[in-house]
Amino acid sequence: VQLQASGGGLVQPGGSLRLSCAASGLTFGNHAVAWFRQGPGKEREFVAAYRWREGSIHYASSVKGRFAISRDKDKNTMYLQMNSLSPEDTGVYSCAVYVGRPIVSALPNPGAYDYWGQGTLVTVSS
């Protein structure tokens, strides 16, 4: 299983980026997929998750209303649309897969995930 995250870059405060996470060796549709981030000197932090089989979406309070997670079933790809970015959003963003059907309370726990992508760097700075 390989997860390939892409789409990071340098953006000014207030700007937008869209991240992608493509999978090979695994079909997203049977599992849960999440985005995490790790800022400089910070611990890894839950951002958003999509439980494919339940069709439910969950966001960290810090990004709710600004970020949107979506999917493309045909391309087996997940997206994270990030709007109104601030310097506090700077970090390495990684996608992860939970094999199976996690309960909602398990989604923010990075240790619960089975596969991880390599991460893509997002820098929000003027």
pLDDT in tens, the chain (126 residues): 999 999 999 999 999 999 999 999 988 888 999 999 999 999 999 999 999 888 899 999 999 999 999 999 899 999 999 999 999 999 999 999 999 888 999 999 999 999 999 999 999 999
pLDDT given at position 30: 81
Measured in residues, the chain has a length of 126
pLDDT given at position 52: 85
pLDDT given at position 114: 96
Rg of the chain in Å (alpha carbons)? 13
Cβ-based neighbour number of residue 81 at 10 Å: 15
Q: Which amino acid is at 23?
A: A
